[in-house]
């Protein structure tokens, strides 16, 4: 169990967590307090970021509309989407952490027919090509070791003309803001997150992966290399949070 590994200090680096496939266990462990911890650490801004993501969905409703939310966690993106678009087709959230999914399912008690969850890897194994209108992913792409492969899978499952929206942490571009934010990431976030959830390694992992994630330009290039067009990003909180958007061309390769 993770408690044992933490006390042995064996699994604390990002690479070890990835290699050992332990990421979802970390999330299982913090699942029961995940939403409230996010509200606390972001001072309520995380709900606003997800709402902005949903506001940028540009796909028209159609009779077999499908939204796929990757690394859905407790289903917060799907919940926000349902609040804004109550009658838009089907929503499917996939995540590796059963604990996170279980914590989210209660939010959809009245919508069990149209809001579905599955324990599955973001590599989308099992989802047929060109079936999805919109793919969303909030704070999940950082956890993926092969980002380009994940983007190729997203491209594959999207219908031509479909849209991908990815919300992710980044680092502010301006020197002073970057320094302040790095201090927060390295010393304050793991402390507060650790005390609150009892799992400091989850927050050390968060800091490490944010620092290693590609820059705004690099990530947009990755999207374009896969074949996406209309790539762009919106910055929030000094550029510490980014919303990337892109479209699969109607005439796709």
Ligand X SMILES: C[S@@+](CC[C@H](N)C(=O)[O-])C[C@H]1O[C@@H](n2cnc3c(N)ncnc32)[C@H](O)[C@@H]1O
Binding site for ligand X (CB under 6 A): 23-24, 27, 71-73, 76-77, 95-97, 100, 121-122, 138-140, 143-144
Compare residues 143 and 201 and give the one whose CB is closer to ligand X: 143
d(CA 243, CA 223): 13
Decide: helix, strand or coil at residue 175.
Answer: helix
Q: What minimum distance in Å lies between the beta carbon of 221 and ligand X?
A: 22
Q: What minimum distance in Å lies between the beta carbon of 122 and ligand X?
A: 4
- Residue burial 148-168, b: 16+ Cβ < 10 Å; e: rest: eebbbbbbbbbbeebbbbbbb
Q: What minimum distance in Å lies between the beta carbon of 35 and ligand X?
A: 8
- CA geometry: angle 27, 79, 211, nearest 5 deg: 40
Compare residues 71 and 243 and give the one whose CB is closer to ligand X: 71
Compare residues 52 and 121 and give the one whose CB is closer to ligand X: 121
d(CA 158, CA 191): 40
d(CA 14, CA 23): 9
Q: What minimum distance in Å lies between the beta carbon of 139 and ligand X?
A: 4
Compare residues 63 and 106 and give the one whose CB is closer to ligand X: 106
């Amino acid at each position: 169990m993770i408690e044992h590994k933490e006390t042995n200090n064996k699994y604390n680096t990002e690479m070890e967590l990835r290699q050992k496939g332990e990421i979802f266990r970390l999330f299982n462990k913090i699942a029961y307090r995940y939403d409230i911890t996010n509200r606390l650490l972001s001072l309520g801004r995380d709900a606003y970021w997800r709402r902005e993501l949903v506001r940028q969905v540009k796909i028209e409703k159609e009779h077999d509309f499908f939204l796929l939310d990757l690394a859905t966690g407790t289903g917060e993106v799907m919940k926000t989407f349902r609040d804004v678009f109550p009658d838009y087709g089907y929503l499917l959230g996939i995540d590796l952490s059963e604990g996170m999914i279980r914590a989210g399912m209660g939010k959809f008690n009245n919508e069990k027919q149209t809001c579905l969850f599955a324990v599955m890897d973001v590599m989308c194994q099992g989802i047929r090509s060109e079936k999805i209108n919109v793919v969303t992913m909030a704070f999940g792409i950082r956890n993926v070791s092969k980002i380009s492969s994940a983007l190729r899978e997203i491209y594959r499952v999207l219908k031509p003309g479909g849209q991908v929206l990815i919300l992710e942490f980044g680092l502010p571009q301006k020197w002073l803001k970057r320094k302040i934010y790095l201090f927060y990431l390295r010393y304050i976030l793991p402390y507060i997150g650790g005390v609150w959830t009892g799992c400091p390694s989850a927050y050390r992992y968060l800091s490490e992966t944010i620092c290693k994630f590609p820059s705004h330009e690099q990530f947009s290039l990755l999207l374009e290399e896969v074949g996406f067009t209309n790539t762009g990003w919106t910055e929030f909180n000094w550029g510490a949070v980014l919303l990337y958007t892109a479209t699969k061309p109607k005439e796709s390769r």
